[in-house]
Amino acid sequence: MVIENMSTLLTEHSQRAMQLDDELQLSRLQTIIRPIIEAWRDPAIGSYLRDFPSFRELLAIDKYPEYFLSREAWKLDEWSKSPLDAFGQDLRNEISIRTDVSCDTFTS
């Protein structure tokens, strides 16, 4: 889903940019790229990418095993179709927030 959104975003941006002068294109491109560069300069990102457990923590997927074990997910035939309890919903929302790529910055 993120890939499709990013692809659509880049296509739209490219089509619109062709109608702009070079200075304005560069200015808008810098607006898009600057936050990405700054995010990668953040020392915390390096610590999260240093090893797999830290990366899992960054995305909040380190909480999956505890959740599935406590709910005995292996006993369910179709665990992916089972309703989530409050903790499961909170976990899903946290993971969604941490992995979401918002396109608002790019389209405004």
Q: State the first-to-last Cα distance of the chain, in angstroms, to the nearest integer.
A: 20
| Burial class (CB within 10 angstroms; exposed 0-12, middle 13-18, buried 19+) of 36 | exposed
Residue 17 near residue 25, CB atoms below 8 Å: yes
* Angstrom distance (rounded) from CA 1 to CA 5: 6
**Tens-digit pLDDT profile for the chain (108 aa)?**
445 566 677 777 666 666 667 888 788 888 888 888 887 888 878 888 888 998 888 888 899 899 989 989 889 888 888 899 999 999 999 988 887 754 443 333
